[in-house]
A = this chain, B = another copy of it.
């Protein structure tokens, strides 16, 4: 199909398709003349994945490019794919500053890891992101989020365990890197969405019990 049909069938504008081609998110079509290309069903499917990662998963273009490169590389294993997807999900975090707040945050996170008996390496992307969030909260003078650290950790312990079990239990290699990547990125978006619903529900329940607004 021509780019116009690819646009019509995917619901993605021609301008966006051209942008994704330039950015390497979508592989080039087969050239049929010097300035015309033909696209196949695999382009349609890839476009769906690109939009899912960008619009629903909230990845940056650079993050999506890294993730798609892992999906396309047959030598990439599940463990590496997990790391790439985690890094992309947390891509917005700035390099950690080496101030007092960072030193304190590193201790807070190291204590949490020890307390929960987590097996986590120093360069886990989540660990660096956690240090940065805790240090940011310290600089802002906020404390209530840090007070919820163990609540969050316990919730994510159950989630991480079931997520890893869901990947391992399937076992098959076929399409599994894409499944892991989609699971990390869209799973994160789903968790954020459910958190918003659970907050409203908890708030409504408290009001219903005669609590404060």
Contacts and interface: CB of A to CB of B under 8 A. Distances in A.
Interface of A: 11, 48-49, 51-52, 54-56, 58, 77-79, 82, 86, 89-90, 92-94, 97, 113, 118-121, 124-127, 129-130, 132-134, 136-137, 139-140, 142, 144-145, 147-149, 151-168, 170-171, 179, 182-184, 186-206, 208, 211-213
B140 A52 contact: yes
Contact of A144 (B92, B119, B179): B179
B163 A202 contact: yes
B156 A191 contact: yes
A interface, over-half SS: helix
A186 to B, nearest CB: 5
Contacts of A52: 136, 139-140
A164 B206 contact: yes
Given A190-B145, A206-B164, A212-B168, A126 B197 contact: yes
Given A55-B92, A144-B183, A163-B199, 13 more contacts: A56-B94, A56-B132, A89-B196, A126-B198, A133-B186, A145-B187, A145-B190, A151-B158, A153-B194, A155-B158, A155-B191, A156-B195, A168-B206
